Amino acid sequence: MNAALIFFVGLGVLAPALKDAPSKEPGLVGEWWVQTFAYGDTTAHDVSYLYLNYVFCSDRTWSEGGLIRSGRTYTVNLKADVATIDMLSGAGTGGGLFGVYRLSGDTLTICVALGRDDRPTSLESRRGSKAMLMVLKRVTKKN
């Protein structure tokens, strides 16, 4: 019996430790450059020469154009039919960008509007809509 007890205790010591399940990271973390932009119509304009950027941080904060303002947070919902994103402007302001997005490799397509009530439901900006459609490319750091 002592041998059996030692055997099972040994198995417990040798077994890999249980780890917390990894969090479902949306993959947005990093710096993104806006390549095309459309507002209120279906024509996407090349704006890559303007060097407009968004930075999404692992602590769920975000910045744009190199401007870091306190209180800017983002949340995502990956369980929706189309993944949603809320990019809040700051504590207590109630403002922000609300939209949907698709991440495919190093390309982020995002469609947002300025109000929660105007949140787009698809990745398109139709004529007369308040939706802004952007296609962004991930910035890869070179060694």
Q: Which residues of 26-46 are buried (b: 16+ CB within 10 A; e: fewer)?
A: bebebbbbbbbbbeeeeeeee
Percent residues over pLDDT 90 in the chain: 45
Domains and CATH numbers, the chain: 25-138 (2.40.128)
What is the per-residue pLDDT across 33-90, written as a single tens digit (0 to 9) for each?
A: 999 999 887 778 899 888 899 999 999 999 988 777 778 899 999 998 899 999 998 7
pTM assigned to the model: 0.76
